[in-house]
Amino acid sequence: MSSREVVVLSVGGVRFVTRASTLQQFPESRLARMLNDDDREFKLVNGEFFVDRDGALFTYIMDFLRTLQVSLPTDFSDYQRLQREAEFYGLYPLADILSQEHLLKPRLEILEVRFSLQEMQAFFRIFGSCSTTIEALAEQITVFTGQQSGQGWNSPFPSQKPLIPVPLERPSHHDMVFLCGTEYSADDQFVARYVAIKPDNRKLINGTNVLGLLLDTLLKDGFRLISTRTVASEEKVECYTFERMKRAAGLVITVNQTPGSSGVAQARRSQVQKGK
């Protein structure tokens, strides 16, 4: 039986087709033993293995065997039931991970944008509950500075002189500060600051335009605007608060093979996230 390449399973009436090698990822599991007729729980009927278990949850079991990674939907909640199924099939590395729901559950992420206009300049400060999101956003935002003569706040054209990128201010791992617009320098020239936000290629100098592009970028990245308020009316500081459910980093199972053993499984975080 173990020599067959393609295996068909009917789990609670749901049909699955896979390779024998996929089911043998963990040699001591019941699915691996099934191929050798070593488990009476699995009945061979008309060339298909039948087992009276939850077919919907077995979808996640198969995904785990194919990828050795735990990837669950953001609205998934049946951790205990899936853990019970993993234990039934003898997939104890998966069961151990599922027992630690905090590693897999999406978490609520809050991000706040503060914006103020003062004369010909606009000031931005972004706070985030997740430092990795702030790091990623800082890589998207670039401020360019340069001098120009006879051009003001609403000039749509960048200076003919080369613009120099300047680093964002990072008061902490959880926030960043930058500004755009123009101000007079000592020699009666305009010092202009433009902002570019990837993947948009434009360099914008008008603070309202930069704000619009920033908010649109956050919305496209999965954030949801939950409130808008004025936190300092005298200075005209506007505050935009966003939230999103952020997936936990994927967990990958690695198997360390040693002579005379079937392998010791360990979990490690994947560097690639399954969405945001």
Q: 88 and 119 in contact (C-beta within 8 Å)?
A: no
- Determine the Cα–Cα distance for residues 41 and 120; give it in Å rounded to an integer: 75
Mean pLDDT of 223-244: 88
Q: Report all structural domains of the chain as residue ranges with CATH numbers, in order of start.
A: 6-104 (3.30.710.10), 109-150+158-245 (no CATH)
Write out the H or E segment, with its range, that includes residue 83: helix 79-88
Q: What is the mean pLDDT of the chain?
A: 82
Determine phi and psi for 56, rounding to 5 degrees.
Answer: -65, -45
Reported as a pLDDT band with limits 50, 70 and 90, residue 231 is confident
- The whole-number pLDDT of residue 249 equals 54
- The whole-number pLDDT of residue 271 equals 34
Burial class (CB in 10 A: 0-12, 13-18, 19+), 257: exposed
- pTM, two decimals, is 0.59
Reported as a pLDDT band with limits 50, 70 and 90, residue 16 is very high
Question: Each residue of 110-146: pLDDT tens digit?
Answer: 999 999 988 889 999 999 998 989 999 999 999 999 8
Amino acid at 20: A
Q: By mean pLDDT, which of 27-31, 144-148, 165-169 is the weakest?
A: 144-148
- Determine the Cα–Cα distance for residues 62 and 66; give it in Å rounded to an integer: 6
Query: Structure tokens of 83?
Result: 């853990």
Alpha carbon of 254 to those of 7, 82, 161: distances in Å?
Answer: 24, 20, 54
